[in-house]
Structure 1
């Protein structure tokens, strides 16, 4: 027993020594075993949010990636006083090259007039649906739905959340928005069936020579609001069209159309950028960022077409119909339907570029309006739900709607084939982007004239209706 007690007395201290050594020796990853999960210490990055990828490591890149800058924060600023973690295996040392420059002037703000697919105004960019700096729910910006993308201090569309910079009041037009028409995508049309309505009914209503009827109102989208469009509209047809027009004033007014059509047709003007605006609205236009001399269209075609799969029925009087989106830069391209082409090249067209036309060819804007009516309403809250587009591939109207005459508005212009020479009037924050082109119709044709239009379209005829004496 004495020998056993002595042996235990020696063994116990030895076991204690081994246990102590195990606690003090750092662990080593096994070459063929599972790797330990590295967890970042948020305290090592004071004031910075962690990335939304589950790693716990902060996003040092900011916006421009689909999931970058989660929670709508701006680009993080450098933290020169932060101490790196003692254990390099648990936390990598800060890499100064990964940080954006501290001086905001070293990195120019993004241009919100850029192509919405390049990350500035589309789904995944700085001001997009999940954009980093001005994300959908971010504190710093209002990327998806904000017209200007301005947050509390930062500015979502520009991508400078922390810096407190404000966007330029009038974003600049860019030379890369002007492209040779021969590089435009081809225009595709649905095939016609035997039931197609192939006729054309046209109203000849002039070109608004000398700006005889124009204003910055939009009675369809902003009734009762003076300067509701923040850009000048050309008007033909109804002589009463302004912010305060009503169905009653439309019906009582005269028209520029030769067949008695009292409908209101309007669209934003085009300007020569180096021209002089001598109108009484020049000061307001300049404040809204629209400068230069207004160009009168060389021709305006207002044609009502049929449907490639069915006959058409009459559209109701006073129905409001809009095409395009004046805020497509910030809203996205869902409702951008305008086409930019050149005479002689109508089989090609852009939606998001201005065309540069060969010598002797004119710039053309083609606006094909929606033509599938719900059969009940003459307007809707968003001015779109009551009348929709047919399927782009088949021409079929959506279930629950019926085909009505489709307005095609074709505007031709003699403008220089040079980048930055001409541009569309737009909202101040939209930078004259061609993707914001749009047009509007308020139908005041009258039942008899509409009946003529429907009959001509369904029978395959081409007519302008009875001419006014």
Structure 2
């Protein structure tokens, strides 16, 4: 069984070191060399040349995650300006990679623009700039190069993990030690020898901004690392409630995010798949969701479940090849329709669960974890048949007959008052290692979403993301808004608390 409480309990330190040793490059993070152009000439489209990555990326303070006290009436204006900050970074990254001015000049303009936008946020909050100090300055984050040949002969490098440069706690000294640079772990099977799971020679991303070869690892070479969940206590809740909602309608895909950027088109800068409610876009509100239809078999579940699409880096153009959120921002390749999406709500080892409030919003994972560090990185990757080994900072290479999986464990503790918070995190929390909720929080049904994909053989793939995040697997994330009817939510709670399996 996989860990279902606190994200820090999922992996052992030993396994993190093993995963690090399996990576193909030297220490640090790396990406395709400056001005590499991938598949633009082959596809006939200019979009694949719009992002030609240099050996680095832009790192900015994540203002949205730092805001903890925003008056309710100020939130619409604050959210609009937070989305503008993301837009400024995306544009600056694109300008750098198109060589539209020096890095220093682009960064200077970016920081000036950010300063003005931060002033707007402060004004919206009644002139309170205390939470915004030191948030204006972005910097160019170097990404170490490790040569390797990918599509069209681009130089490629590896990314161990964004946190390594941030002082993250998932990877330590062993990752940069001698074992990583030599030995059998980097030979034969992993680098195109006789193994069944060779790193694709074209791993690197056709838009030139990731992923890199070092973002992939042979799942068969990873040691089991999933710890057992805490044992259920006498008052614990051991049931499960499932909701079957399909795998998403391609016609509903968009690059909005109604939780973090309501009212702002292309607020995500990457494309989402949607299941459940069919009215989710930037301009939806609670009334919109109430009136919407649903893909869920139980029509009383109008909740919206959405996540970034996964694309095969196959050199082909998607329908959004020339659009914002798609090819214009480095999200390219054929979008893979999930094979399945399993939606389950689970209990708590220490207590009974209480009903989620209607319209509760939860985000798990961090779309900016490459530059933010791994504090909120919670999504994991694996392969069917190898679920006892989960990866946060690597894409898995699965053996023949095995499917790629993404698993999202959502926060399972609620503050009992708010359906959202200024940073979209403070109103919910992960359970402690023993399954108990932090002080002031109560247990709610825990959403666990597992998505599977059949990836074409020998084809690298990447999750959609903000362009400056370089399509790193650690940036994966998932979003949820509860729009179950009160009766259905109570049914789910009763099922979970009574130890049954329902849905």
TM-score range, shorter chain: 0.5 to 0.7
Equivalent position to 2:389, from 327, 331, 348: 348
- The 1-side partners of 2:135 and 2:460 are apart by 26
Q: CA deviation at 1:140?
A: 12
Matches within 5 A, 1:64-463: 110-112=55-57, 150-151=138-139, 155-157=140-142, 171-182=209-220, 183=222, 186-188=225-227, 189-209=229-249, 211-260=250-299, 261-280=301-320, 282-284=322-324, 285-391=326-432, 393-416=433-456, 418=458, 421-463=460-502
Q: 1:276 to 1:302 in 2, by over 3 A?
A: same
Q: CA deviation at 1:330?
A: 1.0
For the aligned residue pairs, the C-alpha RMSD in angstroms reads 3.1
- Greater relative contact order (CA < 8 Å, ≥ 6 in sequence): 2
Please give the TM-score of this superposition, normalised by the length of structure 1.
0.64
Q: CA deviation at 1:415?
A: 0.6
Q: CA deviation at 1:194?
A: 2.3
Q: CA deviation at 1:212?
A: 2.8
Contact kept, 8 Å, 1:371 with 1:405, in 2: the verdict is yes
SS of structure 1 residue aligned to 2:488: helix
- The 1-side partners of 2:351 and 2:311 are apart by 40
- The 2-side partners of 1:364 and 1:113 are apart by 29
- The 2-side partners of 1:242 and 1:139 are apart by 33
Q: CA deviation at 1:308?
A: 1.3
SS of structure 2 residue aligned to 1:449: helix
Please give the TM-score of this superposition, normalised by the length of structure 2.
0.60
- Count of residues in Structure 1 that have an aligned counterpart in Structure 2: 322
**Highest CA radius of gyration, 1 or 2?**
1
Q: 1:339 to 1:146 in 2, by over 3 A?
A: farther
Deviations 1:360-419 (A, max 9, x none): 11000000000100000000001000011111x21111011000000001000001454x
**Quick check: which one's helix share is greater?**
2
- The 2-side partners of 1:298 and 1:423 are apart by 16
- The 1-side partners of 2:411 and 2:463 are apart by 22
Contact kept, 8 Å, 1:190 with 1:308, in 2: the verdict is yes
- The 1-side partners of 2:367 and 2:291 are apart by 29
SS of structure 2 residue aligned to 1:283: coil
Contact kept, 8 Å, 1:170 with 1:429, in 2: the verdict is no
- The 2-side partners of 1:248 and 1:289 are apart by 34
